[in-house]
Structure 1
Amino acid sequence: MIKPFRVQVPQADLDDLADRLARSRWPDELPDAGWDYGIPLARVRELAEHWRTTYDWREHEAELNRYPQFTTEIDGQNVHFLHVRCADADALPLVLTHGWPGSVVEFLDVLVPLSEQFHLVVPSIPGFGFSGPTRERGWDIDRVARAWAELMRRLGYRRYGAQGGDWGTGISIRLGGIAPEQVVGVHVNYLPTPPPPGWAGEADLSAPDLARLARIRQLMAQRHPHQVLYATRPQTVSYALNDSPAGQLAWIAEKFTEWADPRSAVPTDRILTDVALYWLTRTTASSARLIRESGLAGPPPPCPSPIGVAVFAHDITLPIRSFAERTYPIRHWSEFDRGGHFAALEVPDLFAADVRAFFGQLTGKPTAE
């Protein structure tokens, strides 16, 4: 059964949040530490004060509620999603999948332009936001992809596209492998490309690709701290993050700063809305479990669906096309000189245009301007 849903956070929860922010116990900081030890104290205090005194959750709650939202139970788990239909009844359905530390908030700035060409389905990953928390083991990205296939079936969509970044990349590619007869194509704005097994062909790579390879190898050797924590002790770190909104804010805001292009910084209120979703739904622990359940690495899954790749210059790592083409049927490849890991938030115009261009190629329909 699919049920209509509206975001309605109790005022008591907002009052509790404001009270906790006002009573934050701040850590010390080394003089002139900058970003060397993590997100600076002054930045977190500034964000926390804005969150407590100026930011209006009700305004952003109303923005979410402008779009039709629903919930349904799939495989024993509540799944929340936005469903924005195109005026063209024959438009291609498109499922958009967020990542961590993102949420459906990542797509708010592209819903209008993309809905001119697509029927949009924007789910919250199980364990995240209004799809959380999860209640049992086993919710890895393969299971999420199977849930998406079932969700699209329930909505009556027999042929559709998939788009994602971060976790959304892995989920979308797996969806293409799970439902190849339904998925017409997969568009991603983040694509890890580790060297293929046994590969030793540095001499065949261009200088820019060698620089990309060096960054890829660096991250393979030194995982992000949150990945190590979430892969080993997701429950332990969640006690602190679930109890302190200032802690939750620092943990997420750091990523929105470091992983974005400084020239297209994510707006402060978008960051706070995203952080608030984790806080108000108490899904810090369940969202963290996705790494533990899915594992840090593994062989790329097969995907027979055509794949389009949008590369944004300031992403965490940049993919190497020759590596990607060894694994996936790459049909479309775009390189942009601005934008970072949160492309739909940072450069929504570039993001939406590339999604339209890729699926326009596959369907033969002209790209909407």
Structure 2
Amino acid sequence: MNEDVQTAIRPFELSIPQAALDDLAARLDATRWPDEPTAPGWSQGVPSTYLKELAAYWRTTYDWREQEAQLNRLPQFTTTIDGADIHFLHIRSPEPDALPLLITHGWPGSVVEFLDVIGPLTDPRSHRGASTDAFDVVIPSIPGYGLSGPTREGGWDIPRVAEAWAELMRRLGYRRYGAQGGDWGHSITLELAAVASEQVVAIHLNTLLTLPPDDPAVAAELTDEDWARLNRLLEAEPEMSGYAKIQGTRPQTLSYALTDSPVGQLAWIAEKFKEWTDSADVPEDAISRDRLLTNVMLYWLTATAGSSARHYWEAAHPSKPTRASRLATPTGIAVFAADIARPVRRLAEQDHNIVHWSELPRGGHFAAVEQPDLFTADVRTFFRRFR
């Protein structure tokens, strides 16, 4: 393959063969269900009564073609970077002075998380905003996830993804841009700011982990609210970290089940949207059922359960270290009230140049899809000073 072909930006249209949808329907019809849990609610995992009802909706009511058409109304592209195919949405603003903004999802998310914020970010005048708040938006699928397809080689850790993002923005002609991320997207965004420090003017994060300090003097300065945040994460971690331990150690073994069983893939993802969102009883308390299923479909139809899980293994076995010094890039933090891992500002400021900090009253880990208005407003506010 010559260099021009390798670096080309190729238009992309999503068109899933009907045979793949027929296969999904047959697998859903033939699901072999396990026995009932012996404890109430979600304490042993996804309740069978809930999952059976959700799977039935997926089989009989959910309309993939409608969701596919919605995605295809957005400009989509692919390009090859460092041997991997990269899928991305690229929506240019009608405003001539729009600031380019690269947005990165995490696991088990996808570009679907951001469908409700694309319009307000790119065309604020049509969404109760000012033209001066406009962005050109680039939303890539992480290599190994969804429409980027499975990775064909190892080594796709956080630094490598960040370097690919820097190359993607260079190919698109952007020499000055902002970046935003949550979940894995926050780690990738932090690393991008380090590897492309001359291009990234500022970063906005809706995830940031802070851990209890080793220094007794620093610990003594923390307030009761600070410790409440830290303890909430520490108390939740043993119960909720099983998925990460499996994906970080044996992703291949897990991939056989998730790639073969749509209900298995559904349960694996739906559980996280229940536990990590601002929801009371079911994930649909926080996001729409169709949006949840479309996110699941991007994993199922592309057979990327295994390659996305490998991201955890790669992070645990990095090819090279991530940044070691304090990041100088101006950083904005949006803390959504129901997120399990709410950061402590005085600890965050030790490693980051934090110039903006928002405490938002609603929303959880998947902020853009849960609270698109709050997410959009905070992103607009933060980046005004960097235009």
Counterpart in the other structure of 2:294: 273
Corresponding position: 1:293 with 2:285: no
Q: Which amino acid aligns with 2:166?
A: A
Alpha carbons 1:234, 1:288 under 8 Å: kept: yes
> By how many angstroms is 1:30 displaced?
3.2
Corresponding position: 1:127 with 2:127: no
> By how many angstroms is 1:143 displaced?
0.4
Aligned-partner Cα distance in 1 for 2:62–2:216: 51
Alignment of 1:57-96 (within 5 A): 57-96=64-103
2:272 to 231, 235, 255: 255
Alpha carbons 1:101, 1:252 under 8 Å: kept: yes
**Greater Cα shift, 21-30 or 282-291:** 21-30
> By how many angstroms is 1:203 displaced?
2.9
Q: TM-score, normalised by structure 1?
A: 0.95
Deviations 1:68-111 (A, max 9, x none): 00000000100000000001122110001001000000101101
Counterpart in the other structure of 1:178: 195
Alpha carbons 1:174, 1:303 under 8 Å: kept: no
> By how many angstroms is 1:195 displaced?
3.0
Counterpart in the other structure of 1:51: 58
Aligned-partner Cα distance in 2 for 1:30–1:138: 38
Q: Which amino acid aligns with 2:92?
A: R
Corresponding position: 1:305 with 2:305: no
Corresponding position: 1:20 with 2:27: yes
Counterpart in the other structure of 2:128: none
Three-state SS of the structure 2 residue aligned to 1:34 is: coil
Aligned-partner Cα distance in 1 for 2:27–2:369: 28
Corresponding position: 1:169 with 2:186: yes
Q: Which amino acid aligns with 1:361?
A: R
Counterpart in the other structure of 1:367: none
Counterpart in the other structure of 1:243: 260
Counterpart in the other structure of 2:167: 150
**What percentage of aligned pairs have identical amino acids?**
59
Aligned-partner Cα distance in 2 for 1:58–1:30: 34
Alpha carbons 1:202, 1:210 under 8 Å: kept: no
Q: TM-score, normalised by structure 2?
A: 0.90
**Greater Cα shift, 145-154 or 256-265:** 256-265
Aligned-partner Cα distance in 2 for 1:74–1:329: 30
Three-state SS of the structure 1 residue aligned to 2:336 is: strand
> By how many angstroms is 1:113 displaced?
0.3
**Greater Cα shift, 130-139 or 297-306:** 297-306
Aligned-partner Cα distance in 2 for 1:226–1:317: 16
Aligned-partner Cα distance in 2 for 1:200–1:54: 58
Counterpart in the other structure of 1:106: 113
Alignment of 1:214-253 (within 5 A): 214-218=231-235, 224-253=241-270
RMSD: 1.7
Q: Which amino acid aligns with 2:294?
A: T
Aligned-partner Cα distance in 1 for 2:178–2:71: 23
Aligned-partner Cα distance in 2 for 1:44–1:356: 38
Aligned-partner Cα distance in 2 for 1:358–1:4: 32
Aligned-partner Cα distance in 2 for 1:337–1:204: 25
Q: Structure 2 vs 1, CA of residues 63 and 243 (structure 1 numbering), >3 Å: closer, same or farther?
A: same
Aligned-partner Cα distance in 2 for 1:351–1:146: 26
Counterpart in the other structure of 1:347: 371
Alpha carbons 1:227, 1:296 under 8 Å: kept: no
Counterpart in the other structure of 2:383: 359
> By how many angstroms is 1:218 displaced?
3.4
Q: Structure 2 vs 1, CA of residues 173 and 199 (structure 1 numbering), >3 Å: closer, same or farther?
A: farther
Aligned-partner Cα distance in 1 for 2:334–2:153: 35
Q: Which amino acid aligns with 1:268?
A: R
Aligned-partner Cα distance in 2 for 1:22–1:200: 60
Three-state SS of the structure 1 residue aligned to 2:329 is: coil
Alpha carbons 1:300, 1:327 under 8 Å: kept: no
2:14 to 7, 23, 36: 7
Aligned-partner Cα distance in 2 for 1:150–1:175: 10
> By how many angstroms is 1:299 displaced?
7.8
Alpha carbons 2:213, 2:219 under 8 Å: kept: no
Counterpart in the other structure of 1:366: none
Gap regions ≥5 residues in structure 2: 1-7, 124-133
**Greater Cα shift, 85-94 or 327-336:** 85-94
1:192 to 209, 214, 223: 209
